[in-house]
Structure 1
């Protein structure tokens, strides 16, 4: 097995929204903001090369939305999905499976693209299956008013219309063991219903792709929960449970949205958890 870190783009969001009730005087120590209160973020996917399978976890925002839409998110830098794949010797047509932690636009927007004459949409990965789970699919296609702006039908429905959509089995508890793609999945309901956190066994390490359960290093304190989370009290419990297991078993936490820190390991501390190591994919994916 080989793993590759794939940057699909950089953006910004309001720091207050990213840290909920936590005062700016505290969160700006780890996530400094600009004059508009916006903090640096990224969309970092993970590519798994395993035998004849090439699995891409999350796909970023994509490029099919309007300039007005992208203007809200202050896109920056030259990183693209295609450019990052090419850097490692791959093309999007090589992808066999696209695993989506959840269907918010910044996690799945790159899964769908305009067709050639821009009259409609088509899968951006023509040879891939798109993986979600049935409960989250229902949640996304019949969205609540809180999340409606994050679940864009043009990002979602073409997966089903193309016949390329697949559903992961649902666990009896909170973790699905040895999923159809060969890795375990932790299911979390605090951010959105049935978000999926992959746990990949790589050599002697467990790589946890943290998605929005832990978007940045700055969110390590249990009470640091995004305003975007639909059930913040559930997030508190899920974070504490998952991070306790991660500290005990020395998981490598792969941070999808942290623009400056790629991978961390953690230890328990007197008040929750502390960072023990800050690493890069080059340190781990050798």
Structure 2
């Protein structure tokens, strides 16, 4: 949701103009080129990572399973930019010229479903690191329970239930080439759904960062017992790398949320809002991959 679960931009009532008529040609070309290049790079990276995780030898652990699944929503967002956002904007189409149902479906899957699913997976990664460090020998009653699989399937179910509401007319997210951004449809149903999704993301992000803080404290004060010094150092270094990765990814999504909720409102110029809504959205999900 281009980040902008709170962004409600209504189409022009008097005269509908495409983004190309509202910003300078130089900036319009920059906007198209930056989205095109970033979406190609993001799609390629996430597809490659998906292939590598899928072809990895041996049984995948929980961390690797979540990383595998996490490439899918990132790929969906980059793919939507590459084959929907860039073409319709480059052709200077207006919002009313787009097929509503197709625009709604693309927006619901890339702008809502993938946007909400990624934080669920991120909190799963943070929880995985927390569990490994605080319970290195596991929890007895969970040893034979496929916790990661349950977490992934549950996340898919919750996100799908919430975002299925957006498939109803006037309830979804759409791409608006007039403003070069994704937005709610501007009706009470879509605005309320946007607020619900934004609240869910804030709660999930807070939970994920709480796990990160607890994990960081554990890494700072704990020692790996029962192993030789060299092996203990190697294992701790690996945990630190995974912890750092999780923190960086959480920070990326937090930056995106701040941009979409607050920063974009500080200036009503279209070029400024493009930078902190649309470009921020695609860059964050490319870097996340």
What TM-score do you get using the length of structure 1 for normalisation? 0.26
Q: Return the structure number with greater helix share.
A: 2
Relative contact order, higher structure (CA 8 A, sep 6+) = 2
The structure that has the greater radius of gyration is 2
When you count strand as a share of all residues, which structure comes out higher? Answer: 1
Relative to the length of structure 2, the TM-score reads 0.25
